[in-house]
Amino acid sequence: MLMILACLFPALAGTLVCVSGMQIRTRNRCLGACVLATDLLCAAAALQGGRVSFLTLAENLHMTFAADDMGIFFLAAVLLLYTAVCFYAFEYMEREERTGMFFSFYFLSFGALIAVCFAGNLLTLYFCFEMLTLLSMPMVLQEMTKEAIAAALKYLFYSIAGALMGLFAVFFVYFFAEGSAEFVRGGFLDAAKIAGHEAVLLAAVMAGISGFGTKAGLYPMHGWLPTAHPIAPAPASALLSGIIAKAGVIAVIRLVYYSVGEELIRGTWVQYAWMTLAMLTIFMGSMMAFREKVTKKRLAYSTVSQISYILLALSFLSEDGLKGALLHVISHASAKGCLFLCAGVFICRLGRHRVEELRGVGKLMPKTMIFFTAASLSLVGIPPMGGFLSKWVIASAALKDGMGVWAVLPPVILLISALLTAGYLFTVVVNAFFPGEEFREDLAPGSAEPSRLMTVPMFCLCAVSLAAGLFGLTLVRGF
């Protein structure tokens, strides 16, 4: 029951606090307590483990929650991002209207994402996945402008279309399932049922990968990311990019590694199509980020590229590939979450939205730019940050598989993407700290720094990114 309580508590408690009419300071204290209580509930549920089935829709169709290593790993990333963003948002959202609406859907989506992590079968995962889309979409609507409504609708339509493709895969997996259809490493399909229907099942799996990959920004269904991020408040962007988009990654892992099984897909057209789409997305996202001049939109295109590193590693269908993918989940979540929070500081403290406006900002807010630099080092892949270790493991996994040209292409794409990433992030850092002798700024050095409510979350995310680089292999040793 603790797993169910961990999913329901943030949704119910957070919403009740937001509609209670409390003064802002009291409300924020209660919301902070709700987040910390949710962290403790999730930790207790993970330690307790077990499996809970609470609703039967038809034969072999059960709503089930379970705590396994994979779900707990993603849950840790969810708790990290949501906790950091909550305290950051207390100061950021002071400048916004309808803060009660934002925090309500923040907590509702928090509960839905926890449920995704605890989902024990594909039916439960699909239901929670859809709920996450519906409950996170209003955070994009925050400003209620024409552009915000259009961006939110685009996010909604893309996500629902992708989820319906995922439902197609879910149907066929259940049709060919053996036993209870609960997640099992290596899959649970009945070989006798599959015989003679391999082509149909492979097509369904590819549809599922593409559909669930929509949430992760996989080409050609990536368009919602660069549209939604510039419109959404920075805390929402950090969540969408850092962890909500990774719900698609969770779904792909559960479909391929825990339902269908790697052996059915290895060496088929599905594996090569999957690898091709992932590499194309990596390159395209990096190129678009390099050309983009709006800071948050540049980071959104970067997310399109970086999350496809994870999908590429998963497409190797190997243990090393899975470890590299999981390492990049935590390193990207921490680094990209920090970058979006830094972008939010530039907006709320200086009103600067574009890359060229950040020239000299390192003198106005040196702490924030140090956090931005540290997170950039991780995304580029500079040791000892987490991004270096994850990319090293991914490239090594590709070469180890011995798939001819398909073993060489991923490291080449990763290197090209790393160069482009350095180009669109390090130029910001250099111009921020070294604007040139002719540059003049009216504000006093250090005068624009935000309070600890904003700086401590950014520091914590940078620290996690560094820890992922130093201790990441220990973290993923059991997968």
386-418 tens-digit pLDDT: 999 999 999 999 988 667 788 889 999 999 999
Using alpha carbons, list the distances in angstroms from residue 326 to 4, 52, 403.
25, 26, 22
Q: Which residues of the chain are modeled with pLDDT < 50? A: none
Per-residue model confidence as pLDDT tens digits over 153-183: 888 898 889 889 999 999 999 888 887 788 8
Amino acid at residue number 279: M
| pTM attached to this predicted model | 0.93
pLDDT given for residue 82 in this prediction: 95
pLDDT given for residue 402 in this prediction: 65
Mean pLDDT of the chain: 89
Per-residue model confidence as pLDDT tens digits over 43-100: 999 998 888 888 777 777 788 899 899 999 999 999 999 999 999 999 888 877 788 8
Cα–Cα distance for residue pair 71/288, rounded to 1 Å: 32
pLDDT given for residue 50 in this prediction: 84
DSSP secondary structure letter of residue 54: E
CB 3 within 8 A of CB 45: yes
Cα–Cα distance for residue pair 355/90, rounded to 1 Å: 25
Cα–Cα distance for residue pair 164/405, rounded to 1 Å: 33
Burial of 443 (0-12, 13-18, 19+ CB in 10 A): middle
